[in-house]
Every structure is written in C-alpha cells, then in structure tokens.
Homo-oligomer: A and B are copies of this chain.
Amino acid sequence: MADVAQLAGVSGQTVSRVVNGNDRVTAATRLKVETAMRQLGYRTNIAARALATGRFRTIGVVMFNLSAVLNVRILEAVVTGAQTRGYSVSVAMVDGPTEKDIRAAVRGLTDRAVDGVIVIEARVLDTPHLQLPEEVPVVIADSRAAHRHPTFGMDEAAGTRAAVDHLLGLGHATVHHVAGPTDSIPAQRRRAAWQRLLKRSGRAVPPPVVGDWSPQSGYDAARRLLAADDVTAVFAANDQMAVGVLRAAAELGRRVPEDLSVVGFDDLDFTPFLSPPLTTVRQDLAAVGRRCLEQLIARIEAPQGAEASASASRFVLPELVVRASTAPPRR
C-alpha cells in the first residue's frame, strides 16, 4: 500500500479510502491511485484489514456430512449467495451428533475468523435446544424452531401430511413408515408427524422400521416389513431408502403400485426415472440456504436490534409430487 501511495504521490490513508470505495476523494486523485494500483498489481491484504477492522467478511458453515444430497444443496445456495455479497465461506465438518461436538466445530470456526456461522442440520442427541456461544451471530438450518438462534428449515409436518394424506386418500387402511436415523431431527419430525396423522385418522399405527438414510437400510427395512402380506403402503423418510424399498418389493414379487404403494421424500433428480417413477415430497433446500444467509448477513451487518427482521417465514413448504409408485390398494 505504501508503494502505491508513493507512486500516486498521496498518503497511504488516501489509498485506503480509494480501495474502500467512496469516502470523499477527488476524481483526479482516485484516478491517480487506481492507476498506481494497477501498475503495481496491488492486492489488499485481508489479514491486515481484518486486524484493523475486526471484520473478516467470511462466514462459516458447520455440516455433519456431505453425503446427504439435500444438505449439499443448502451449502451450494449459501456459497453462491455469499459470493455475490462479497463474503467467502469456510466449511467445517463435525463428527459427532452432540452439542459438544457442534460447539467445538463452531469454536474452531470462530478461532479461524468468521463473522457468523450457519449450522446445517443440527443433529443433536443430548439437548433439544441448541445453544452456541454468542461471540458471533449463528443461524441454524433445521426443521424445528426450538433453538436459541434464528432457524430456517422445511415444514416437515406439512410434507409428511401431504404424503400420508395422499396414501390414505387413495384408500389404504394405514401407512407403514421407514424412518430415518433416530438422531436426525428431520427424521424424528417426519416420524412423529406420521404417527400423529395416523392416530388422528383413527388408523392403526404399525411400528416404524428405522433406517439410516441409505438405500441399503431401506432395502433391509422393506424386507422385514414385507414379510407380512397386509402391507399396502410405505412412506419412506427419504428417497434413497425408498429406492431400497422398491428393490425389495421387486425381489419379493410385490408389484408397485398395484400391490404396494411407495412414497419417498426429497425428490432427488433420478426419482422420476425409477421403475416405477417415484411419488415423493419435493423440498426447496436452496430457499432454506438463501434465507439462512440473508438472516445471518443482516445480523452481522446490523449488530444490535436486528431481531425485528425475523418476519420472513421460517419454514419452507414442501410439495407432493405424485408419480407412478402410488395407487389405490387392490382388494
């Protein structure tokens, strides 16, 4: 910076002013400085700026794993959004499902210099109310609102209702459920909603079979489920497991949808091309990512009193996509 200042015949402070946009600088001096910067290939050192300002223009994202396609979609939305707002994104992965692990990850990130943190899918076992250190603003991408921080997510109950009502409306006596892992919040909520809906309709609530989101676990679950031959409708907590269910049905000679209706969750890109095309629940995860980011940046840039802006609806509504894997039960 000093070199630029000297070449342009001004003080370093003036260079700083030019770099940071329009403080009052004459067009002439601005031009001189800009020319000098270009000649010298000047790049501002962001460590120095961060040291002086206390801001990093970086946000941290905490994730549990990147195998879950849906979480990646949130990440993608956050990264692209952040980029256009002039922020960069630091990604951290956390191993365990406890609040302690998350806290460690967030600490690692704040040590590492971020202005704010987004936690994607707060899969916490040990506490229902995630509370993180207050050093920087935190926003959580999750489907329950119980955290101490602003939270955005899907309306899991609405998605589940769409699926269950669809099957019930088709005439099925009840709906069996292949659930996600018990330490996953979305899985918990889908399962709870499924149970509540069946009860409310006065249907039998068969014991759910728990999977781990993987196709293999869906397959295993279905093998167990389909041992009984009165099962006519299965709601899987995600599409991957639904694929496993479809496979098990094929192996057991149960035709879908004639003998068995199957509904998934997520609407992954290949689901329309399965045999049969899968009826599933579509979620707009990118919207969740975008909202998290907006909220976070709002908090970062308006340190106090930014609470008011919590107006935007916190939960995105999913949408049932009916394809060919569901039909009325044969009688």
Q: Which residues of A contact B (CB under 8 A)?
A: 43-48, 50-51, 56-58, 65-67, 69, 72-73, 75-76, 79-80, 83, 88-93, 108-113, 214-216, 218-219, 240, 243-244, 246-247, 250, 269-270, 272-275, 277
Contacts and interface: CB of A to CB of B under 8 A. Distances in A.
Contact of A273 (B72, B89, B246, B273): B246
Given A240-B270, A244-B270, 19 more contacts: A46-B113, A47-B48, A47-B51, A50-B50, A58-B112, A67-B76, A75-B91, A76-B93, A79-B92, A79-B93, A89-B90, A215-B273, A216-B269, A219-B273, A243-B273, A243-B274, A247-B272, A247-B273, A274-B275
Contact of A240 (B57, B66, B269): B269
B45 A51 contact: yes
A29 to B, nearest CB: 23
6 contacts: A46-B111, A57-B112, A58-B90, A66-B75, A89-B90, A274-B274
Contacts of A112: 46, 57-58, 88
Given A76-B67, A90-B88, A247 B269 contact: no
Contacts of A56: 47
Nearest to A240: B270
B214 A243 contact: no
A62 to B, nearest CB: 11
